[in-house]
Amino acid sequence: MSNRGIARSPLGVLREETEARLSALLEFDTNGGCWLWSGAPNAGMGYGVIRVRGTRYQAHRLSWELSSGRPPGECDVPACVNPAHLFLGTPGDNNRDRFAKGRFPSPSGSAHYRAKFDEASVRDVLARLAKGERQRSVARSFGVNQSAISKIARGITWSRVAAAEGTQ
């Protein structure tokens, strides 16, 4: 998640104003105990975004900092700002947690927007390499550079296909 354009914290002089603005935009979920953000979400992720004196902040981070004074980790409900549902973690911790729980996974394989190959093409690359064809020749025929073919051959990219083919 990119924090570009979102400031870290308005706490200190703005504490009371921040608490009031945050509280005014909450809905309480009696089933799960989440404090659901009813204000504007950030683009595509579902996390709340709030402006305090013209500066954008992530609502769940403000909620945590108001309650604990430290930056947070995350609840599994992106719109939740209940500090009891948040935990302290580094961005790496948050990304590992997010990946382990299957939230917002990045597209991989041919679904990735920068993919140059699909699964059938990768199988073709691996078969041609197994027959002894040079990586440069294979790369030329696919319109990519040799390093892309090398990464497939070494299992750095497309390792799922290589493993399924029994080449890794």
Residues in the chain: 168
In a domain, 138, yes or no: yes
Task: Give the tokens for residue 114.
Answer: 């920068």
Mean pLDDT of all residues in 124-143 = 95
> Residue 39 above 60 pLDDT?
yes
Please check whether residues 46 and 92 belong to one and the same domain.
Answer: yes
Please check whether residues 44 and 95 belong to one and the same domain.
Answer: yes
- Measured CA to CA, the distance from residue 88 to residue 70 in angstroms comes to 8
CA 31 to chain centre: 27
In a domain, 7, yes or no: no
Please check whether residues 115 and 84 belong to one and the same domain.
Answer: no
Give pLDDT, residue 123: 93
In a domain, 119, yes or no: yes
Last residue of a domain, one of 74, 100, 126: 100
- Measured CA to CA, the distance from residue 82 to residue 67 in angstroms comes to 9
Q: Among 3-7, 20-24, 32-36, 123-127, which is the least confidently predicted range?
A: 3-7
Last residue of a domain, one of 49, 76, 100: 100
Please check whether residues 94 and 75 belong to one and the same domain.
Answer: yes
Number of domains in the chain: 2
Please check whether residues 56 and 115 belong to one and the same domain.
Answer: no
In a domain, 132, yes or no: yes
Q: CB within 8 A of 84, min separation 6: which ones? A: 33
In a domain, 8, yes or no: no
In a domain, 95, yes or no: yes
Mean pLDDT of all residues in 68-96 = 71
Q: Which domain holds residue 118?
A: 109-165
Residue 78 DSSP label: T
> Residue 127 above 80 pLDDT?
yes
Give pLDDT, residue 104: 61
166 band by pLDDT with thresholds 50, 70 and 90:
low
121 band by pLDDT with thresholds 50, 70 and 90:
very high
pTM over 0.85: no
Give pLDDT, residue 72: 55
